[in-house]
Amino acid sequence: MSRVKVLIVDDSAVVREILSTGLAGYPDIEVVGVAGDVFRARELILSKHPDVLTLDIEMPRMDGLVFLKKLMPQYPIPVVMVSSLTGPGAAATLEAFQYGAVEVVNKPTSNLRDGLTSMLDDLSQKILAASLVDVSRWKNDRWAEAIPRIPAGALSQSTDKVVAIGASTGGTVALRAILTALPADMAGTVVVQHMPPVFTRMFAEKLNDECQVQVKEAENGDRVSQGRILIAPGGFQTKVIRSGGEYQVRVQEGDKVNGHAPSVDVLFESVAQVVGANAVGVVLTGMGRDGAAGLLKMRQSGSRTLSQDEATSLIYGMPMEAWNMGGAEKQVGLSQIPQEVLGLLKRMRP
C-alpha cells in the first residue's frame, strides 16, 4: 500500500518543523513538502501532487480560508485544518467546512512544541481518513445543495418523540443542509458531530442563526423538547435520560468510545434504553463505525432508523457499517432525509 502524501501549510516555521518531523515517523504517511504561505503551497501542489493538505487559517498575504475558496473549485484536494481554538481563526475554520475542508485538529494555544507533539496521533489519523474522501465533486460546484425549508404544522403530536443523529467527516455540511430544512415544531433532536471542544459551541451558534428551530450546544440537564436541537459538546459524552415526565440530556466527562467523545454509540444506546419506539435514529457521513451498534440497539428497541446513502455521503464509512450491521432499516439520500424523518415521526402513535 502506497503512503499518503501530505503537504504542510503553516506560517510558523516551528509548526512546520514539528509537524513534518513528527509525521515522518508514521509509516503510512510521507511529507512531500512544507509551505509558509499559500503561494508557495500552490506551487508545491502542482509539482508534488499531495494526497492531503494540512492548512492553517491565519496566513500571510492570503489567509487559509480565501485560499481554500479558490483552491477547491480548481484543484480539489482533501484538507485538514490545523487551527487555534481562539480568536478569528476558530470561526474561520468552522466556515472552512463549507468550502471543502474535511477535518480539523486543534493547534495548542500554549506550550506549542509539546502540544503539537501530543496531537500528532490525532492529526495522523485524520490525515489517513481525509485521504479516503472523494472531494472531486467540489470541482466547479458545491456538493451539498440546499434543501427546501419545511413549514411548521406538520408535527402536531411530537412532544414525546426524540430524534438522534450522528455524523463525522463531512457531517458539518450534511447537518447544516438537514437541520436548516426542519420545521419550527420539529421533535426534540440530539446531535453528535465528531468535533473538538469550542467548535461544537460555535457550530451550534451558527446553526441557530440559520435554522427555524432553536439550536444550542447541550448542557447537562437541558430538556429535549419540541422545537429544539441540542449539539453534543466536544470532549464530553452525551446521553438522553428520562427525568420525571420529560427527556433531558446528561452531559459528562467519560472515556472515549470508538475513539470519540462525544460518541454516537453512547447517544444512540441511551435513546434505545429510555425512548425506544418513540425515537428516530439517523447515521450520516463519516469515517469508521461509531453509531452502527447503537443504531442496531435503537432498531431492536422499536425505534425507526435511517442511514445516509453512499452517493451523497462524503465518506461512506459510518452509514455503511450501520447498514451492514442491520441497524439502518433504510438508506436515504441527503436531500430526502428531512422528509423521511418527518414521515416516520408522523406515523408514530402519540
Q: Which of 8-17, 136-145, 261-270 has the lowest mean pLDDT?
A: 136-145
Task: Please give the DSSP secondary-structure letter assigned to residue 58.
Answer: S
CATH of the domain at 90: 3.40.50.2300
Is the model more confident about 350 or about 144? 350
Structural domain total, the chain: 2
The chain-wide mean pLDDT, for the chain, equals 90
Tell me: the pLDDT tens digits for 105-151? 887 766 667 777 778 888 998 999 899 888 887 765 555 567 889 88
Whether 290 sits among the annotated catalytic residues: the reply is yes
Task: For 120-161, give the DSSP string.
Answer: HHHHHHHHHHHTT---GGGTTS-SSPPPPPPPTTS-SS-TT-
Q: Is 152 left (phi over 0), alpha (psi -120 to 50) or beta?
A: beta
Whether 168 sits among the annotated catalytic residues: the reply is yes
pLDDT at 99 over 60: yes
Task: Please give the DSSP secondary-structure letter assigned to residue 276.
Answer: G
Domain assignment present for residue 144? The answer is: no
pLDDT at 181: 96
Cβ neighbours of residue 49 closer than 8 Å, sequence gap 6 or more: 5
Question: Does an H or E element contain 174, and which?
Answer: helix 171-179
Domain assignment present for residue 156? The answer is: no
pLDDT at 2: 87
Measured distance CA(112)–CA(124) in Å, rounded: 18
Helix (H, G, I), strand (E, B) or coil at 195: coil
Q: At what angle do helices 171-179 and 199-210 cross, to 10 degrees?
A: 30
Domain assignment present for residue 113? The answer is: yes
239: confidence class by pLDDT, cuts 50, 70, 90: very high
Which residue among 124, 168, 270, 303 is the active-site one? 168
Give residue 29's domain range: 4-138
The model carries a pTM of 0.90
> Can you read off the three cell numbers belonging to residue 120?
500528532
Which residue among 51, 83, 158, 194 is the active-site one? 194
Which residue among 10, 56, 265, 290 is the active-site one? 290
